[in-house]
Amino acid sequence: MIEENVKNKVLLIDPLKCDGCRECEKACAQKHTGNRKIGLKRIQIMGTGDGTFFVPSTCRQCVEPPCMSVCPKGAISRDVQLERVVIDTKLCVGCAMCVSACPSGSMTFAHDLGLSYKCDLCDGDPQCVQVCEKNAIRYVESNRLHHNRVRESARAMLGGRARPKERILQAIKEEERL
């Protein structure tokens, strides 16, 4: 049974906080393979060549996943309990069509196993989140996903002024006049 507090949650990644330590990759590999070597990780740290900017990248758990649409064997499905996309390795035939269809490049193919794999949110307890000391990866309710971004955008739009509610109402009234 899935706990209510993990339903409708998503990974929220803030690349500005990521320092490229790769602990998330190691924790992921440990969870799925029992080995901290990052070969079969479901999250990948990408970065600039000069080491000044890092971006954790993982499956976005698409609402209408292209990988699921192209799978000829129906091995990819949507788990409605955890709002995630999962692969049934017993049905996967290793055609790798899902890898080509993935819009975020997060579907990976293990040539030695002949199977595709991707983030499964660690069954509702993402290990990448547990080890991220910089808080660059968080597991949040999907309805709050853009809340901070909207608030920050509003603050920037208002020039960081102290009374944002009044300024927002004023901006709405001005828009209505146009």
Tens of pLDDT, residues 129-157: 999 999 999 999 887 666 565 566 566 65
Mean pLDDT calculated for residue range 82-92: 94
128 and 160 co-located in one domain: no
Examine the pLDDT at 172 and tell me if it is beyond 70: no
88 and 155 co-located in one domain: no
127 and 170 co-located in one domain: no
In this structure, the dihedral spanned by the alpha carbons of residues 25, 29, 112 and 70, taken in order and rounded to 10 degrees, is -70
Burial class (CB in 10 A: 0-12, 13-18, 19+), 99: middle
44 and 116 co-located in one domain: yes
100 and 170 co-located in one domain: no
Q: Is the pTM of this model over 0.85?
A: no
15 and 77 co-located in one domain: yes
107 and 162 co-located in one domain: no
80 and 56 co-located in one domain: yes
Burial class (CB in 10 A: 0-12, 13-18, 19+), 134: middle
Strands 76-79 and 84-87: antiparallel
Cβ pair 70, 102 in contact under 8 A: no
Segments forming the whole domain that contains residue 100: 4-143
73 and 124 co-located in one domain: yes
CATH at residue 16? 3.30.70.20
Q: Provide the domain count of the chain.
A: 2
**Residue with the larger pLDDT of the pair 173 and 63:** 63
Q: What's the pLDDT band for 37 if we cut at 50, 70, 90?
A: confident
120 and 152 co-located in one domain: no
pLDDT of residue 144: 65
